[in-house]
Structure 1
Amino acid sequence: MAEIFGIATGALSYIQLGRHFGEDYQRCQPKLDIAETRLGRWDEAVGVNNDARFASASPPDKAVKGAQGILEDITDCFEAARRNQADMQRARKAAWALYDGKSLEKIVEQISSWVDELEKLFPVEAAHQNLVEMEIEEVDDELSLRTLKGAARGIDPALEDAVGRKVDAIEAKNNAGSVKTEDLARFQLGNVFSEGALRREILVKDQTNNSVETVSAKNESRVQIGNIYGGKGIWDD
């Protein structure tokens, strides 16, 4: 079974996104990376290579047999996609290309569903959670965390939750006691990233604390407790 797992995870790394993915590349590639990481995390948490139950080609254990079937399904999924790829260069056996975002998203969603089943067959939440925390240990800027959380949504719930907790810890540095708004006044608690900051992927290691006891705003005033990254003010006109 360890060999089957190697084939399944290897198939993920063989994918190359077509050049004319254009702007979709930055959205699709992280999803693919997260799907691959999640599958590898399950392997490490369960210990496929070190557990004797996974050594047999015909395992008697029902859970192991079920996991083997899922890994074979993952491999078959990639093989089917590979065969159906009309633009694939036959001479290149080490890599293949996806040329539209929908194809990639469909595959990633299916893989996520299969990993859900693997995690149900072998629930190892404590080890799994530790691995997730280790993966994001060195990611400490808010923009990267938010980007990662968005990419993990619907693909890797454990990663999404862990990143969310880390973002909340940063946001907790911005707080307001009593807030009162009147008329058309608007209020925001938290940091703001402009489109320019998102495009340039500005590194933000936020260490500031913004705190007020009372906010009173009226008419058309705008109040923000937090920082702005990338230029201009809140709710640009």
Structure 2
Amino acid sequence: MEVAALIISGAVTLPKLFRVVADCYGLIELGRNFENDFGQCRLKIDVLQNRLVRWSEAVDLHNNPRFNEDSTDADKEVKKTHRLLNEIGDHLRTAIRATDNYEADRDPDAVEPKCMEAGDLQPAEKRLHTHLRDRIHHRLNRMTKHAGAVVNKAKWVIYKADQLGKLIKESAELIDQLENLWPVKDDYEKLVKADIEDVKETEVLKVLHEAARSVDEALAEKAMASLLPGAVNRNWLRKATLSEDGFLHVGNTVTNMTASGLVNESDELVIKGSSRMHIGNQYGHRGMWESK
């Protein structure tokens, strides 16, 4: 993709600027060095693009007349929205330039490296990828009459994991700001629910929860809630490392009591020496603090 495809005049309307930025995420491909964690990386891009497109629907970007004025004539909130979307575009431009530089330095006689493809996804990952792409395309197609898609549809490749991680982190932080700038909480919640209501398989929900964490926390929470509907307590630990006399308890001890709606999560723990860690809830029973 030519970098020029992302250079947007400050005089364009927000719907046009948004469409260019949103389309560019859908044009990302990943190089073969992502082979070991391709599924999660591919899905994080999907989740990120879906979140941005969902935001535009929540604020009614293409129908609200406030958003259809040139940035030079817009009010303060709309001008800030222009700035945030342009910042997202800046991060995309940086990533595209890195791709151009990488490819320019490659031996011109070398075989062009192949990219990862949807066929390389695991079954649950592939089903989720298809679901998210369908959601994104459905929303974007409804917007076509308002703002055309990117003319240059050439794909562009990210070759380095740190480059992708930086792009996702910076983009997610800017979408946080967009959502906070336009606080339509009820609309966000309704659309997040719609994103997941057709996802029923436990394995797909687990994959979605992992992909959405740190990228789309609202979607990650909804996936977790769907995994264990109505559970007394929910305890989640991804990884723990124990040494010496360290002690860890994960789970619930409930005696003659009722509890509901409690969520306990931890990503990674390192427990050393005589340290003790409890994840969960314990009632009416001798606890880990009194005795092992």
Q: Distance in 2 between matches of 1:60 and 1:187?
A: 53
Q: Distance in 2 between matches of 1:162 and 1:127?
A: 15
Moved over 2 A (4+): 86-89, 186-189
1:84 aligns with 2:144: no
Q: Distance in 2 between matches of 1:187 and 1:82?
A: 44
Name which structure has the greater RCO, CA cutoff 8 Å, separation 6+. 2
Counterpart residue identity of residue 84, structure 1: A
2:228 is paired with a residue whose SS is: helix
| 102 and 171 in structure 1: CA distance in 2 versus 1, 3 angstrom threshold | farther
1:70 aligns with 2:84: yes
1:27 aligns with 2:87: no
State which of 214, 217, 232 in structure 2 corresponds to 1:157: 217
Counterpart residue identity of residue 16, structure 1: E
Once the two structures are TM-superposed, the CA of residue 167 in structure 1 deviates from its matched residue by 1.4
Counterpart residue identity of residue 107, structure 1: L
Q: Distance in 2 between matches of 1:187 and 1:57?
A: 55
1:137 aligns with 2:197: yes
Deviations 1:77-135 (A, max 9, x none): 1112111222347xx97111011222111101111000000001101111111111111
Aligned residues: 176
1:52 aligns with 2:65: yes
1:95 aligns with 2:158: no
Once the two structures are TM-superposed, the CA of residue 166 in structure 1 deviates from its matched residue by 0.9
Counterpart residue identity of residue 110, structure 1: E
Assess if the C-alpha contact under 8 Å between 1:24 and 1:101 holds in 2: no
Counterpart residue identity of residue 37, structure 1: N
Deviations 1:142-185 (A, max 9, x none): 1111111111111101101111111121756x9xxxxxxxxxxx
Q: Distance in 2 between matches of 1:157 and 1:71?
A: 20
Deviations 1:23-70 (A, max 9, x none): 121120111100000000000000111010111112431111101111
What residue is the counterpart of 1:117 in the other structure? Answer: 177
1:24 is paired with a residue whose SS is: helix
What residue is the counterpart of 2:134 in the other structure? Answer: none
Gaps of 5+ in 2: 1-13, 105-151, 235-248, 253-292
Assess if the C-alpha contact under 8 Å between 2:15 and 2:67 holds in 1: yes
| 187 and 72 in structure 1: CA distance in 2 versus 1, 3 angstrom threshold | closer
TM-score by length of 2: 0.56
| 140 and 5 in structure 1: CA distance in 2 versus 1, 3 angstrom threshold | same
Counterpart residue identity of residue 165, structure 2: E
Assess if the C-alpha contact under 8 Å between 2:27 and 2:153 holds in 1: no
Q: Distance in 1 between matches of 2:103 and 2:37?
A: 20
Q: Distance in 1 between matches of 2:170 and 2:196?
A: 24
What residue is the counterpart of 1:127 in the other structure? Answer: 187
Assess if the C-alpha contact under 8 Å between 1:2 and 1:55 holds in 2: yes
Q: How does 1:174-189 map to 2 (within 5 A)?
A: none
1:3 aligns with 2:13: no
State which of 54, 60, 82 in structure 2 corresponds to 1:41: 54
What residue is the counterpart of 2:168 in the other structure? Answer: 108
TM-score by length of 1: 0.69
**RMSD value over aligned CA atoms?**
2.3
| 187 and 48 in structure 1: CA distance in 2 versus 1, 3 angstrom threshold | closer
Assess if the C-alpha contact under 8 Å between 1:88 and 1:96 holds in 2: no
1:49 is paired with a residue whose SS is: coil
